[in-house]
Amino acid sequence: MSTTIDYYELLECERTADAGTIKSSYRKLAMKYHPDKNAGCKDSEAKFKAVSEAYDCLKDPQKRAAYDRFGHAAFQNGGGAGPQDFGGFSDIFESVFGEFMGGRQQGGRHQRRGADLRYDMEITLEEAYHGKQSDITVDISVACDTCHGSGAKPGTHAHSCKTCAGHGKVRAQQGFFVVERACPACHGSGEVIDTPCSDCRGEGRVEQTKTLSVNVPPGVDEGTRVRLSGEGEAGARGAPPGDLYIFLHVKRHNLFEREGTTLFARAPISFTTASLGGTMSIPGLDGRAHEIRIPPGIQSGKQLRQRGAGMPVLQGRGHGDLVIQIDVETPTKLSTRQRELLELFRETETGEECPQSQGFFSRLKNAFAGE
């Protein structure tokens, strides 16, 4: 691909784009046209090379300033270390793809961080409300005590890999590209152990059962993650460990349902209570009984709200609300006396007691009368 194409156009960015936008666009395009994803496609290889050259120029403030002023001429005829200088391509590849290729460089060698681990914990809604301190037992790899994580037998040491000169990677020329791969001799570590530790077999880590304390804060919800930094899998040969993530799962409650910090409950009441009004007592998760006043004439589906009786705000102040949905229950078993009283009540009905029913039947009558 011709290097005369505008670098900003290649990276699909405006000339005013900041460094973060340029890097993000390059990441997307480099992943799209990478030779590993487009094997044998010459156009993709050329496109990948071109966007890499463009990014190598624009990521450097001095090169970018020169390019903005003079264009491609800034790097011609000895005008500086231009975009085709592959000495900088390794840095680009490492910074952009390092996280996908198993670690970052530290001190010239790859430090392959230990894997992050997941643990699923089930808690009750009450525990989600109040929070809890809990101990869990996990089987994970930890740094070997015998060799202190080095992987070498005590009294011996690892030495720099001769194949890669301790860099952990080797380069190979493939057409237009310089491809870097993990060193096959040391597998990217940059070091070779002649006499491995007998306990960890040169890995620098061993399997162990650990008991860890987990602090579940008040207000957690389904899917909340609690991170235990450095409690994941140990890295090989002294590399830093990963993290342990506790995924919380809240058991279904027999009374309350939850939506954010709001608690919902359904309360069936008799039709006499619905007609005359009254009160009900709801036991809250806070351990207190909440008196709910029922206004006379309440209908099914009406919601009554108790402020501040819901779930606590996670890592904040205050509580959500408790919402009671009323379900008016029609009696199915009546004594003779109750039936007599209801018959007397029906005889005194004028229709004004239930305006919605009166309105419905009036509309129904008008409809059949053709009005």
Within a 10 A sphere around the Cβ of 291, how many other Cβ atoms? 10
* Domains 7-101 and 117-158+193-250 belong to one CATH topology: no
DSSP 122-149: EE-HHHHHH-EEEEEEEEEEEE-TTTTT
Residue 41 annotated as lining a ligand binding site: no
Q: Is residue 53 within 8 Å of residue 83, measured between CB atoms? A: yes
Domain boundaries, the chain: 7-101, 117-158+193-250, 257-329, 336-368
Q: Which amino acid is at 341?
A: L
Class of domain 7-101: mainly alpha
Residue 13 annotated as lining a ligand binding site: no
Residue 6 belongs to what H/E stretch? none
pLDDT tens for 41-51 read 888 888 888 88
pLDDT tens for 249-262 read 999 999 999 999 99
Q: Is residue 167 very low, low, confident or very high in pLDDT (cuts 50, 70, 90)?
A: confident
Q: Is residue 79 within 8 Å of residue 73, measured between CB atoms? A: yes
Q: Is residue 270 within 8 Å of residue 238, measured between CB atoms? A: no
- Mean pLDDT, the chain, integer: 82
Minimum mean pLDDT range among 38-47, 76-85, 229-238: 76-85
- Region 162-168 average pLDDT: 85
Q: Does domain 257-329 have CATH number 2.30.42.10?
A: no
Q: Does domain 117-158+193-250 have CATH number 2.60.260.20?
A: yes
> Which of 12-16, 177-181, 280-284 is the most confident on average?
280-284
Residue 57 annotated as lining a ligand binding site: no
pLDDT at residue 174 in the model? 67
Helix, strand, coil distribution of the chain in percent, nearest 5:
30, 30, 45
Residue 147 annotated as lining a ligand binding site: yes
pLDDT tens for 119-153 read 999 999 999 999 999 999 998 889 999 988 888 88
Residue 354 annotated as lining a ligand binding site: no
pLDDT at residue 293 in the model? 95
